[in-house]
Structure 1
Amino acid sequence: MTINRTIDTNSTILVVGSTGKTGRRVAERLSDLGYNVRHGARSSDVPFDWADRETWGAALADVDAAYVTYFPDLAAPGSIADIQTFTELAVARGVQRLVLLSGRGEEDAEACERVVQAAGLEWTIIRATWFAQNFNESYFLEPIQAGEVALPVGSVAEPFVDADDIADVAVAALTDDRHVGELYELTGPRLLTFADAVAEIASATGREIAFVSITAEEFAAGLAEQGAPEEVIGLLIYLFTHVLDGRNASLADGVQRALGREPRDFKVFVADAAATGIWAAVTEQGE
């Protein structure tokens, strides 16, 4: 691939999903380095919404590079068509470089990767496993605070990756020509079951936090009771029953190849998160 020019601090970088777990971190790092960051979110000055294609063109105008996360997930229906249209528009708008956050072991995500790879711009693929931050910034926070995490998964192990590692790789890929044309598969340095992960959190907080393995039907019913949209329920069931079938129960060296260092261990993440008090029992937080 021919590199036209280097992305430098005069460049404008679009961060799609700049309020999300990785996008927020990427935007902060780029700003700290002096890059011009355009926030791609529904609440941004130039709004971006995956559900409204009319917003895409303005968000991509005069952009040199883009970090792309897809909501709710590249495994969701419609993702391939959206990524195809978005990438074609990016090329038409003159975007030079695109870094895509993909999902490990997801067939539709890999189809989206191929779309980006064939688009004719500089690309880097970041294929990540489950985020450690799902335990303190997302799905599992409230159950941990309540003292019981009930999920439709058993003894399958997952190499949880830290969102800070993902952000570091993304920033490197956006700003350094050496990462053009690379596919980095990112994992943490250890395999843990979800029960193992919850046990580490319990140990760090000094609380009793149970992990309970339930059926997919029970999980779906619980989500519906909480008012979760049908499409979100379907996506989570797919991730737990198909992607978490053991296909990702192995370590990869993407962090090492991209950054020249070891990935952050789950235990370090847990210690840092526990120190903030985020996992205190709900009754304790209300006192």
Structure 2
Amino acid sequence: MTATAPTTLVLAGTGKTGRRVVSGLQARDVPVRIGSRRADPPFDWQDDTTWEPALRGMDAAYVAFYPDAAFPGAARTVGSFANLAVACGVRRLVLLADRGADEAERCEQAVRDSGAEWTIVRAGFITQNFSEAFLVELVRSGVVALPAGDVAEPFTDAEDIADVAIAALTENGHVGQIHDVTGPRLLTFANAVAEIASATRREIRYLPVTPDQFISSLTERGVPPEYATQLTDLMTEVFDGRRSQVTDTVERVLGRPPRDFAEYAHETAATGVWDAHAAPSGEA
């Protein structure tokens, strides 16, 4: 049963999941306000004076914290935003959170404590990181070097995350629910890179590296040291097997199977993104 469509603020509305949430809501004729630094009014997680103007008149919000809900300090910021949202009359909050990350769990608690009608959408490693974020340059180079060892990960497609979030924002029956979204099977990073190599018909390999080596590789490419360290700490935290399970969430919520990594690899390879020079997006 579909509820009355609320006016919805979509944070990180130009990022991997956010822009898909925007598109899906618009296809359902749901009024949408994009939350980003370039929007009107602008929204910036680092500038809380931008929050209230973006929240005015909103009934619901998709809360994707940038750069990541698992980064240090995210819970304090997300909690402040959630409390302000409720004070501004926002009724429903749908939070994107990282599966298994301690700081992300604190973000979840902050949203639950806000008094809003809440839904948590948990996701692990987003498949589109290979084509729309920091890994695209590594794929193009032919060597994907990560501190992930041989851990198995249920790579989660951004389309599935967005569709589950859209259901939570527009339908009844999702309030107070934690939707743990995964892909349909477990893959190591070596497996995933091999599927990309097969789809592109290129020589691309996965190279496991130490956390220090990964930080050095990021800073050498111009990534700020603090961000490089936080990203590496997150990967070290969650790539220990704690997320090596698949769930039936996509089928249960959407009535269809989750998108498989092989389908993503072949469709993405056909776009030429792994051979092009376009800059990737970094928001969730």
Whether these two folds match at TM > 0.5 is: yes
Structure 1 counterpart of 2:128: 133
Equivalent-residue separation in structure 2 for 1:171 and 1:157 (angstroms): 28
Matches within 5 A, 1:256-275: 256-275=251-270
Equivalent residue letter for 1:277: G
Deviation, structure 1 residue 281: 7.3
Confirm or deny: 8 A CA contact 2:70 2:97 kept in the other structure: no
Deviation, structure 1 residue 111: 1.1
The structure, 1 or 2, with the larger RCO (C-alpha pairs under 8 Å, 6+ apart) is: 2
Q: Does 1:217 align with 2:212?
A: yes
Deviates more, 1:58-67 or 1:227-236: 227-236
Deviation, structure 1 residue 255: 1.2
Confirm or deny: 8 A CA contact 1:7 1:174 kept in the other structure: no
Instruction: Give the counterpart of 2:231 among 236, 239, 249.
Output: 236
* 1:186-229 Cα deviation digits (max 9, x unpaired): 10011001111000000111111121111111111111111211
Deviation, structure 1 residue 181: 1.3
Structure 1 counterpart of 2:81: 86
Equivalent-residue separation in structure 2 for 1:85 and 1:130 (angstroms): 26
Equivalent-residue separation in structure 2 for 1:100 and 1:70 (angstroms): 9
Equivalent residue letter for 1:279: W
Deviates more, 1:191-200 or 1:235-244: 235-244
Q: What stretches of structure 2 of length at least 5 have no aligned partner?
A: 278-284
Confirm or deny: 8 A CA contact 1:75 1:235 kept in the other structure: no
Structure 2 counterpart of 1:119: 114
Deviation, structure 1 residue 54: 0.3
Deviation, structure 1 residue 244: 0.5
Equivalent-residue separation in structure 1 for 2:4 and 2:210 (angstroms): 48
Deviation, structure 1 residue 117: 1.4
Equivalent-residue separation in structure 2 for 1:234 and 1:253 (angstroms): 33
Deviation, structure 1 residue 248: 0.6
4+ residue segments displaced more than 2 Å: none
Q: What stretches of structure 1 of length at least 5 have no aligned partner?
A: 283-287
Identical-pair percentage: 52
What SS class does the counterpart of residue 37 from structure 2 fall into? coil
Root-mean-square deviation (CA, aligned residues, Å) is 1.3
Instruction: Give the counterpart of 2:162 among 162, 167, 172.
Output: 167
Q: Does 1:75 align with 2:75?
A: no
* 1:43-88 Cα deviation digits (max 9, x unpaired): 0011000000000000001100000100111111221111111011
Equivalent residue letter for 2:16: K
Normalised TM-score (structure 2): 0.94
Normalised TM-score (structure 1): 0.93
* 1:67-113 Cα deviation digits (max 9, x unpaired): 01001111112211111110110110010101000000101111111
Equivalent-residue separation in structure 2 for 1:114 and 1:224 (angstroms): 33
Confirm or deny: 8 A CA contact 1:147 1:281 kept in the other structure: no
Instruction: Give the counterpart of 1:148 among 128, 143, 152.
Output: 143
Equivalent residue letter for 1:148: V
Instruction: Give the counterpart of 1:61 among 46, 49, 56.
Output: 56
Equivalent-residue separation in structure 1 for 2:129 and 2:20 (angstroms): 15
Equivalent-residue separation in structure 2 for 1:109 and 1:140 (angstroms): 22
Deviates more, 1:48-57 or 1:117-126: 117-126
Equivalent-residue separation in structure 2 for 1:143 and 1:80 (angstroms): 30
What SS class does the counterpart of residue 101 from structure 1 fall into? strand
Equivalent-residue separation in structure 2 for 1:82 and 1:258 (angstroms): 29
Structure 2 counterpart of 1:12: 7
Equivalent residue letter for 2:80: T
